[in-house]
Amino acid sequence: KGYESSPDTFGWKAIPYAKPPIGELRWKAPLNPDPWTDVRQATEFCDRCPQYMRGLSIAGKEDCLYLNIWRPKSAETGLPVYFWIHGGGNSVWTASFPLFDGVKMARKSNMVIVTINYRLGPMGWFTHPALRHGKNAKDDSGNYGTLDIIKALEWVRDNIEAFGGDPGNITIA
């Protein structure tokens, strides 16, 4: 269940695209999220992924593999999709940063906007012999942040039609 993000747009925040990468799933390729049966409230951003802040403190939570969607308030379907991967050198920032709010772009461009969180820093790109078990090349890769982005893109491909988007017309930025 989303919300009216402006008089001209609808929004959905913190939709899980993968299981939380915690415990045994830390430093593993992302897995599909557990399904839910009740109406899921999608009106608040999730926490940012763990990252270093000024003074070397750490902010964020590992349960952060969520995406956000905005679309024009219309019945139009087959809209182009703009898939935004936030910057920050793979070590900082978050999809909830106010600059990345998709309200204006969805309205002005008549498209579906998707922003994502993905694992950052050593949680997203870390390899060590102790983490390699030889059972799954993706788990052993150390490229968890990249795999998160791919998993989010797969989720969009498989689900964006429900939000009026065209899974065959996705621009990655």
Q: What is the pLDDT of residues 55-109, one digit of tens each?
A: 777 878 899 999 999 999 999 999 999 999 998 887 878 878 777 788 899 999 9
- Mean pLDDT of all residues in 155-160: 98
| pLDDT given for residue 69 in this prediction | 97
Is the confidence at residue 167, as pLDDT, over 80?
A: yes
| pLDDT given for residue 61 in this prediction | 87
Q: Which run of H or E residues covers position 150? A: helix 144-159
Tell me if residue 10 falls in helix, strand or coil.
strand
| pLDDT given for residue 44 in this prediction | 86
The confidence band for 159, taking pLDDT boundaries of 50, 70 and 90, is very high
86 sits in the region (left: phi over 0; alpha: psi -120 to 50; else beta) called: beta
Among 1-5, 14-18, 51-55, 133-137, where is mean pLDDT lowest? Answer: 51-55
Is the confidence at residue 47, as pLDDT, over 80?
A: yes
Question: What is the rounded distance in angstroms from the CA atom of residue 118 to the CA atom of residue 43?
Answer: 19
Please give the C-alpha separations between residue 69 and each of 38, 96, 126, 161, in angstroms, as whole numbers: 19, 11, 29, 12
- Mean pLDDT of all residues in 102-122: 93
Q: What percent of the chain has pLDDT over 70?
A: 100
The confidence band for 126, taking pLDDT boundaries of 50, 70 and 90, is confident
0.95 exceeded by pTM: no
Question: What is the rounded distance in angstroms from the CA atom of residue 134 to the CA atom of residue 155?
Answer: 27
Please give the C-alpha separations between residue 49 and each of 10, 13, 90, 93, in angstroms, as whole numbers: 25, 15, 11, 8
Q: What percent of the chain has pLDDT over 90?
A: 63
